[in-house]
Amino acid sequence: MSKSITSANHQNDALFVLIKSLTKSEKRQFNLYVGRLGGNIDAKFFSLFKFLERLKSYDEKIIIGSGIVSKQQLSNLKAHLYKQILISLRLNPAHKNVRIQIREQLDFATVLYQKGLYKQSLKLLEKAKNMALDNEEKNIAYEIVELEKVIETQYITRSLSNRADQLSIQAKELSQQNVIASKLSNLSLQLYSHLIQNGYVKNSDELKFVDKYFNDRMPKYDYQTLGFREKLWLFKAHLWHSFLVQDFLSSYKYALKCVNLFDNQKLINLHPVFYLKSKNYLLEASFLVKKVSTFKKELTHFETEIDEKSIPMNTNTELLIFLYFYSNKLHLHFLEGSFEKGEYLVEIINSKIEKYKNRLDNHYVVLLYYKIACLYFGMGKNKLCIAYLQKIIRSKNISTAEDLQCFARILNLIAHYECGLDYDLERQFLDTYKFLLKMENLQEVQKVFLESIRDLSDVFPHEIKNEFKKIHTKLKVFENHPYEKRAFLYLDILSWLESKIQNKPIALIIKEKTNQLAK
């Protein structure tokens, strides 16, 4: 297995990963926090922190051998250190987002209530509730109203005789909105999970199942009463449904609706992760429907936002910006056929994969490797293409992305053919064929292509162009097929065949197609 792929899960101890994720300012904050505790600067948990901070990779034998802690005590000490780091991070001003501020006010109000200081508690709760409602934090707002109701049963505010009725109505409205948001977010998550596990719909039976699943679980709602949060989950549910059924124009429509919800900087600051995901959905959908001008405009705007730091930066958003920005930079070169101009991205992406290896899921790593392989294939650097495809093919710990594994093997076959590695082509073909046989619902595109490329080995050189034309004719009929077109999302086989038929570089074929779309 590729070293770079295994490394992502190599250091999976939760405490170690947390320590390695700390920035310099966060480490400095922790040192100050421990110092303020008094008498703890030499405590075992702090000694363990300093030791793990210096350690390159997690190894319990080395930790126990340091003499800081015995094997029996290690688990408890790690748990204590983990908790202290989280407390320190919570106190860090950089992590003081609105939700934490509201929670803090709710905690203070609870303490005041427990001391019997009802009036002071209610005053804080009113302030926290208004903050929660202003910032679409309706789950916390509901909690606050419920506590207000409890306090009102013990301390009746004589100035407002209808106070109980007001709180009851407010609680009911918030509860209804939270139920709708919960149902929509559940539906969105379930559809996304189905897409990850099963890929796009492959036949009419799967389409019926997904449509029924979607319609049966879509809650009844009045659009006019929906807030930002409910609308976002509604659009995302439609988005994942459209991706599943390969209605990419609808994907584009709902991705645009998601982005347009963030119509002011305040919402971007409040929900930077949702904003980044929405931007990525829009870029991905624009790429899939070949809206070249929209894609370029959105990518340029995204880059400007990153440069101007208008998207709040933390370790979470930093990782997402890397994944989304560089994936779409690669997509731009695929759309334009400007593969050679994109080669500089490879070194940047590899260095960032190394930087984020403790927090990057393997699925995203292999996805980037596949896109790099496609970049090299477009440049005609087939041996480098093969090297990146092997990182995917040899990886054993990827339970999802079967489609990606499949097309990595097919591109690997084509790259071997292009390299003239005929001695290895038969073995590669057999390996690919065995893998595809294990897949359920093998696509017609895959079957036709495999049979065709196997037969190429028996074709005389002067007949090869005619054979490519035959393969192209067979595959062209699937280009807009409702269930088969997904094959061309991963691998532009048709453009490759056209490059062989016309005796032109594949990059030139793609550029010509892009120019046609722009007209």
Q: What does residue 220 show for φ and ψ, rounded to 5 degrees?
A: -75, 140
Helix (H, G, I), strand (E, B) or coil at 293: helix
Instruction: Enumerate residues 6+ apart whose C-beta is below 8 A from 43.
Output: 34
HEC assignment per residue over 75-126: HHHHHHHHHHHHHHHHHCHHHCCHHHHHHHHHHHHHHHHHCCCHHHHHHHHH
Per-domain residue ranges of the chain: 3-95, 100-161
Q: Hey, how many other C-beta atoms are within 10 angstroms of the C-beta on 333?
A: 22
d(CA 109, CA 341): 58
Both tokens of 498, joined, read 């056209």
Both tokens of 272, joined, read 């930077």
Both tokens of 336, joined, read 């334009």
CB 483 within 8 A of CB 203: yes
Taking the CA atoms of 88, 94, 100 and 104 in sequence, report the sign of the dihedral they define: positive
Give the residues of the chain that fall short of pLDDT 50: 1-10, 400
d(CA 191, CA 233): 12
What's the angle, vertex CA 178, arms to CA 177 and CA 184, rounded to 5? Answer: 90
d(CA 304, CA 318): 15
Q: What is the DSSP letter of 418?
A: H
> How would you label 467-482 residue by residue, b for 16+ Cβ within 10 Å and e otherwise?
bbeebbebbeebeeee
Short-list 369, 371, 280, 290, CA closest to 336: 290
* One-letter amino acid for residue 250 of the chain: S
CB 327 within 8 A of CB 367: yes
Both tokens of 230, joined, read 């409910």
In the chain, % of residues over pLDDT 90: 41
Q: What pLDDT is stored for residue 465 in this prediction?
A: 77
Instruction: Enumerate residues 6+ apart whose C-beta is below 8 A from 19.
Output: 49, 52, 53, 85
List, for residues 374-423, the tens digit of each pLDDT value: 999 999 899 999 999 999 888 765 554 677 788 888 888 888 888 876 66
Both tokens of 142, joined, read 């509901």
- Scanning the structure block, which residue is given the tokens 């899960």? 9
Helix (H, G, I), strand (E, B) or coil at 439: coil
CB 315 within 8 A of CB 296: no
Helix (H, G, I), strand (E, B) or coil at 67: coil
